[in-house]
Amino acid sequence: MTAIVVFIDQINASGTLHSTSQQLLTLARSAGEAVVVVAGPVSEDLAAELGVHGVARVLHSEQSELADFLIAPKADLVAQVAASVSASAVLLENSPAGKEIAARVGVALNAGVITDAVTVENQGGALLAHKSVLAGSYMVQAQATSAVTVISVKSHSVEARAAAQTVVPVVERIEVTFGPASLGARIIRRTSRTASGRPELEDARIVVAGGRGLDGDFGPVEELADVLGAAVGASRAATDAGWISHAAQVGQTGKKVSPQLYISVGISGAIQQKAGMQTSKVIVAVNKDSESPVFEIADFGIVGDLFKVLPQAVEEIKRR
């Protein structure tokens, strides 16, 4: 069976698999045999959880360079594992780091790179990826012409499922050779952002995003996000106005998200906003203008004043 290398870059503080990694494993299993790569230690609990996802082989490195330098050493790790197991594909998360690793692995393996994929399927041994292009105007099926394909997959594009049979994975600790160029930028200090307690935008199952209609007050959006356990996103009009950090911007020049539920609040639905969210599974729009273009892509639309609609929604959700 074709070997598909899955790079697990995020492990929860509790040592368990992040939901994005579970989704990658579900996809890999549907298309071949997953070989997992981890940059760091693999605890017994983590190995057991990987076994629940049908992973039979885990390769990991605990070399300090992986933590002390920027992205490049991780790309060396992934590329060298992919070459050693003769992988036909590498799957990674579609985060900025994931996409940088994908590009570097592509160069190292002379492999085609496909980003922003929402699903993959095995077509006669080669992986076919489905992705959105041209600001989300088209869905495209893409296949690399190289022997190996590197694909970054949007979070929540697929539902994570455990394997039909749990296995006990073989965990191997390996040593990787890092090229001088990979050790070009050392991390000298880490500072953590003030934690909001909300999920990261690109990892969230639910996103509540606000736009110019909020008129500077993100309170209603944040309250709805908190009762739903959602991340907060924004249109560029809102981030440019300084109402919320640029890190929250969704769209062509912001983050690309694909959650199970995207609630768009006071956002008109310009093409550049759609580019970042229209592959969401279910889109709900709240806008006072029934002619607003956002309703063209919304599965459910509420025409009304967000300052009335959102508090009512919060009350109702709390009541249940």
Q: Which residues bind ligand FAD (CB under 6 A)?
A: 211-213, 235-238, 249-254, 266-268, 270, 272-273, 276, 286-289, 292, 305-307
For CA atoms 118, 83, 11, 100, give the dihedral sign: negative
User: Which lies closer to ligand FAD via its Cβ, residue 16 or residue 252?
Assistant: 252
CB of 290 to ligand FAD, least distance (A): 9
Q: 26 has which bridge partners? A: none
User: Which lies closer to ligand FAD via its Cβ, residue 16 or residue 272?
Assistant: 272
DSSP codes, 234-263: E-HHHHHTTSS-GGGBBSTTSB----SEEE
CB of 142 to ligand FAD, least distance (A): 23
- What is the rounded end-to-end Cα distance, in angstroms, of the chain? 48
Q: Distance of CA 178 to CAs 76, 128, 174, 303, Å? A: 6, 31, 13, 56
Tokens representing 13? 């503080």
Place of tokens 């911007």: 249
CB of 40 to ligand FAD, least distance (A): 33
CB of 293 to ligand FAD, least distance (A): 8
Tokens representing 82? 């992919």
Alpha-carbon span 300 to 292, nearest angstrom: 13
Tokens representing 226? 């908190």
Other Cβ atoms closer than 10 A to 85:
16
User: Which lies closer to ligand FAD via its Cβ, residue 101 or residue 286?
Assistant: 286
CB of 305 to ligand FAD, least distance (A): 4
Alpha-carbon span 286 to 264, nearest angstrom: 6
User: Which lies closer to ligand FAD via its Cβ, residue 179 or residue 216?
Assistant: 216
User: Which lies closer to ligand FAD via its Cβ, residue 11 or residue 201?
Assistant: 201
CB of 98 to ligand FAD, least distance (A): 19
CB of 73 to ligand FAD, least distance (A): 31
User: Which lies closer to ligand FAD via its Cβ, residue 32 or residue 210?
Assistant: 210
User: Which lies closer to ligand FAD via its Cβ, residue 157 or residue 292?
Assistant: 292
Report which secondary-structure segment, H or E, holds 47.
helix 44-52
Tokens representing 269? 């639905």
Tokens representing 30? 């549907």
